[in-house]
């Protein structure tokens, strides 16, 4: 494996990082929106979201990606590998985020909400000033956990032709007839990123436990 090959894997790493970040940033608010629809029990929509979340949580990302990449052009929506990758990641992660947000919303103390109502806050204000700041804190470990899970499934994006870490590694393996070294380099790139997120999650959990112990 030459220096150029390692550079190619690093280039793939940039693509992987960019796609992961895009997926996370779009998936977070969509997950919150879905959770709010279920929380507020919006007629019909809440049922649709329930089915969507249950189904997406059960669907492997490979299967979802292949479905999007091959079926969308079939019904007249042209899609390139990168868009299919982002769409797949967002659909997948938003379903998991929805559950994290929703459990925070379900455990939100009712009395605080009613207190805000009684001092005449409007629904939007109540949500922005009272609910959101607190559920963000509660959801944080779960959301970070979901981010690390999302990064761990990104090698699948190579299946639809995105030139990420994994596809670069596969290509080099095929050219040099030595598939193992490029995959080990790929793993060496993934491990610190995922480890950082897992450590971040543990750190947040410990801090929150310490804060609770003081209170």
Partner 1 sequence: MIHDFGIVWSERALLLSGFANTAILSALAAVAALLLGFGLAPALMSKQPAVAWIARFFVDGMRCVPFLLFAYIVYYGFPTFGVRLDNWTTGLAALTIYNAAYMAEILRGAWVAQPREPIEAGIAFGFSEIRLFRRIILPPLLLSAGPVIGNQMIQIIKDSAFLTIIALPELTHAASSIQSRHYVPFAAFITAVFLYWGLCLVIEAGVGSVGRVADARR
Q: Which residues bind partner 1 (CB under 8 A)?
A: 54-55, 57-64, 66-67, 70-71, 74-75, 151-156, 159, 166, 169-170, 173, 179-180, 183-184, 186-187, 190-191, 194-195, 198
The nearer residue to partner 1, 132 or 191, going by C-beta atoms, is: 191
In the complex, least distance from residue 202 CB atom to partner 1, rounded to whole angstroms: 11
Task: Return the ∠ at Cα 139 (arms to 134 and 141), rounded to 5°.
Answer: 130
Output phi, psi for 58, to 5 deg: -95, -10
The tokens for 6 are 């390692």
In the complex, least distance from residue 40 CB atom to partner 1, rounded to whole angstroms: 24
Coil vs helix vs strand at 199: helix
In the complex, least distance from residue 69 CB atom to partner 1, rounded to whole angstroms: 8
The nearer residue to partner 1, 60 or 109, going by C-beta atoms, is: 60
The tokens for 201 are 């999650």
In the complex, least distance from residue 157 CB atom to partner 1, rounded to whole angstroms: 10
In the complex, least distance from residue 187 CB atom to partner 1, rounded to whole angstroms: 5
In the complex, least distance from residue 5 CB atom to partner 1, rounded to whole angstroms: 16
Burial class of residue 100 in the structure, from the number of CB atoms within 10 Å of its CB (0-12 exposed, 13-18 middle, 19+ buried): buried
What is the sign, positive or negative, of the torsion defined by CA atoms of 159, 160, 163, 165? negative
The nearer residue to partner 1, 39 or 96, going by C-beta atoms, is: 96
CA 156 to chain centre: 14
The nearer residue to partner 1, 11 or 134, going by C-beta atoms, is: 11
CA distances from 137 to 11, 71, 112, 154 (A): 35, 39, 16, 26
The nearer residue to partner 1, 65 or 86, going by C-beta atoms, is: 65
Task: Return the ∠ at Cα 169 (arms to 164 and 171), rounded to 5°.
Answer: 95
The nearer residue to partner 1, 75 or 119, going by C-beta atoms, is: 75
Q: Supply the DSSP string of 169-188, one letter for each residue.
A: HHHHHHHHS--HHHHHHHHH
């Amino acid at each position: 494996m030459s220096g150029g090959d390692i550079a190619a894997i690093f280039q793939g790493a940039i693509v992987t990082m960019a796609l992961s970040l895009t997926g996370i940033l779009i998936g977070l608010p969509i997950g919150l929106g879905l959770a709010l629809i279920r929380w507020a029990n919006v007629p019909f929509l809440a049922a649709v979201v329930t089915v969507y979340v249950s189904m997406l949580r059960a669907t492997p990302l490979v299967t979802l990606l292949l479905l999007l990449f091959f079926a969308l052009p079939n019904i007249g929506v042209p899609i390139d590998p990168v868009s299919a990758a982002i769409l797949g990641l967002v659909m997948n992660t938003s379903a998991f985020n929805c559950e994290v947000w929703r459990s925070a919303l379900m455990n939100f103390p009712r009395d605080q909400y009613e207190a805000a109502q009684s001092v005449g806050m409007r629904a939007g204000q109540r949500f922005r000033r009272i609910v959101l700041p607190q559920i963000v804190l509660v959801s944080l470990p779960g959301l970070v956990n979901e981010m690390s899970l999302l990064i761990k499934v990104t090698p699948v994006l190579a299946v639809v032709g995105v030139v990420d870490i994994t596809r670069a590694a596969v290509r080099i393996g095929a050219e040099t007839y030595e598939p193992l070294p490029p995959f080990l380099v790929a793993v060496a790139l993934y491990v610190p990123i995922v480890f950082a997120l897992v450590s971040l999650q543990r750190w947040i959990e410990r801090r929150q436990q310490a804060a609770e112990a003081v209170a």
